[in-house]
Chains A and B, each alone.
Chain A
Amino acid sequence: MMKTNINLEEMSQQDAIEYLKESVQPEMGAIPASLLGDPKIYDIEHKKVFLKTWLFIGHESEIPNKNDFITRDLAGYSVIISRGSDGEIRGLYNMCTHRGMKLCRADAGNKSSFTCPYHGFNFKNNGDCIGVPLQKDIYGGDFDKSGLGLHKIRIDSYKGLLFGTWNDQAEPLEDFLGEFKWYLDILAGRAEMEVVGPPQRFVIHSNWKIGADNFVGDSYHTMVTHGSIVKLGMVPSATYSKKGYQIHTTNGHGLNLGTPNPDFAFPEELKEEYKSNLTEEQYDVLCNLKNMIGNIFPNLSFLISHTKVKGQLISNTSVRLWRPISVDKMEVITWLLVEKNASSDWKRRSRESFILTFSPSGIFEQDDTEVFTDITAAASGTMPLVKQLTFNYTMGLHRKPVEDFIGPGVVYDDKFTEANQRNFYRYWLDLMTS
């Protein structure tokens, strides 16, 4: 039996990990509330999850031209993602190698080199140190700049989605995504996709996992939390959120596929482009898609949503990062993706529906944030740990996956199960205790 006087703060990291092994039981559907509120667990998470896995940093279309760059956060550290004059995309730690000043303070721009505001070292956008003020005079004749290049970050992309990691030993991105790529093809590779404008950013006083948990598997909340949307007639019925499949693959990834859809959710005129980018099976899924909500472990959620706005059906595709700031706070960063070859009218309406439903003012979004905040407040501090408050994640535990679905992964034939959350927490626990 577990000790009742637990105080993770006073435990060593090893003891805390032992505690997690005992108390987190994804397969039994038991997840302690303290996972959402304990600072010690948050610290371990930073080291064992965020410094270890691939993390989303942006979309290739955000830097389409040579010398374009964006600055992004990678596990709490600012990085420059830059497209060099050779067209190659590189990730560089946004820290001057001389004394550590932050090199670039803009969100985005176009630059072939960066000059440090402290002493003026100059770095090419491939990372090379190319200029040191008064070099000959103050460092002497044979000063070697080659060791002063910016720290390079391992980055990779899949269907335009850019990821980075601080872990040089991390498995290749394609392996990390594994079978989940089949679904990401539909999300981000069905056509040439582009991001619209800069991402939206806002802060919620919420633990980041609540967002990931909500998107990876919680279709159940839609009926209630988003009840107002049904009232407004934007979605068919309160139970529409149950229809479809819940699917997960290895490494904690999971999604919910809302099907069927009597209407085609995407621009009709792009059907040929979709067919050329997808397999027959994937195209079949696309044709029946009503919505698609999921999470790439750990914190990149995505969404295709098809709703009626002003009496007309329209879909929008977005990705969102639940970027942890502290145990009880995160920055939500959302990107809208559209088909590059869609008509300008379709793009305009897709953006309109995105802003109306899933931006900071979004009428879906805002009710979620209210829930996230209150859960975080209730889970914080020592009491949930001392009293061992545990959430029940057993929904659908009695059910067997279906065998005849055309896509990969473990598939359940309706969305009201918590298999995906159990899968998310299983991988989380594996990393935390590794």
Chain B
Amino acid sequence: MSLEKMLATYEFEQWLYLEAKLLDDIDFDGWFSLLHPDISYSMPVRVNKEGIERPDYSLDMFAFYDDIELLKIRVDRLKTDYAWAEIPPSRTRRSVNNVRLLEYAPNEKAVVNSYLTIYRSRSTDIHHDLISGERQDEFTFVDGEWKLSKRVFIVDQTTLNTRNLAIFV
């Protein structure tokens, strides 16, 4: 691996760690500022297929299929006094690992895959939820900063074992 790619990998690791921190700290505005205005943010429904047929996720149905406007609605909603699903907010801990830089054009574009595990604890409930999956991200360089311009989150469950996705993946 070239030094340039190593540094870039490190840079995106740090980017993803910061993103995880902002979301875990419920800083939705801070998170929102990381997004590119042309973002496509999706989470396809995972399915059980016969054998090793791929892809084993749907191309037609999604748990998220958002652009910047819809993400803005979600963020705005979470800030109203009525967003019961997150009142009080879940305690989440996002762990990002296996970060791999797949494509890289300095100061332009990057494709980064990573694994994500979200631990979620709500209220006094002693059960916790685990949401795990792979992120397939694309970044675009704008005004000296990397912005997230595409995310596909491939979740590991066909039946999600969490009461809702009032949180971001």
Contact = CB atoms under 8 A, between A and B. Distances in A.
Given A202-B161, A231-B80, A359-B62, 15 more contacts: A106-B48, A108-B47, A197-B60, A199-B61, A201-B158, A202-B159, A202-B163, A232-B77, A331-B159, A360-B63, A366-B163, A366-B164, A367-B84, A370-B85, A370-B163
Contacts of B43: 361
B28 to A, nearest CB: 14
A363 B77 contact: yes
B47 A107 contact: yes
A-B pairs, top 10 by smallest CB distance, nearest first, are A197-B61, A197-B60, A227-B82, A366-B164, A366-B85, A361-B165, A228-B82, A202-B160, A106-B50, A201-B159
Interface in B56-114: 58-66, 69-70, 73-74, 76-77, 80-86
A202 B162 contact: yes
B127 interface: yes
Contacts of B54: none
Given A105-B48, A205-B163, A355 B73 contact: no
B48 A196 contact: no
Nearest to B69: A310
Contacts of A356: 66, 70, 73
A204 B160 CA distance: 9
Given A228-B80, A228-B82, A360 B164 contact: yes
Given A310-B69, A356-B70, A360-B160, A232 B80 contact: yes
A373 interface: yes
A203 interface: yes
Nearest to B158: A201
B45 interface: yes
Report whether over half of chain A's contact residues are helix, strand or loop; otherwise say mixed: mixed
A63 interface: no
Contacts of B86: 366
5 contacts: A197-B61, A200-B61, A201-B160, A202-B162, A355-B66
A355 B44 CA distance: 11
A8 to B, nearest CB: 25
Interface of B: 43, 45, 47-50, 58-66, 69-70, 73-74, 76-77, 80-86, 125, 127, 158-166
B163 A373 contact: yes
A198 interface: yes
Interface string A340-378: 000000000001100110011111011101110100010
A225 interface: yes
A199 B158 CA distance: 10
Given A228-B82, A232-B77, A352 B65 contact: yes
B85 A203 contact: no
A369 B163 contact: yes
B163 A363 contact: no
A407 B82 CA distance: 36
Contacts of A331: 159
A327 interface: no
A71 to B, nearest CB: 8
Contacts of B158: 107, 201
Contacts of B165: 359-361, 366
Contacts of A106: 48-50
A154 B73 CA distance: 45
Nearest to A371: B84
A361 B49 CA distance: 24
B65 A355 contact: yes
Contact of A227 (B63, B69, B80, B159): B80
Contacts of B159: 201-203, 331
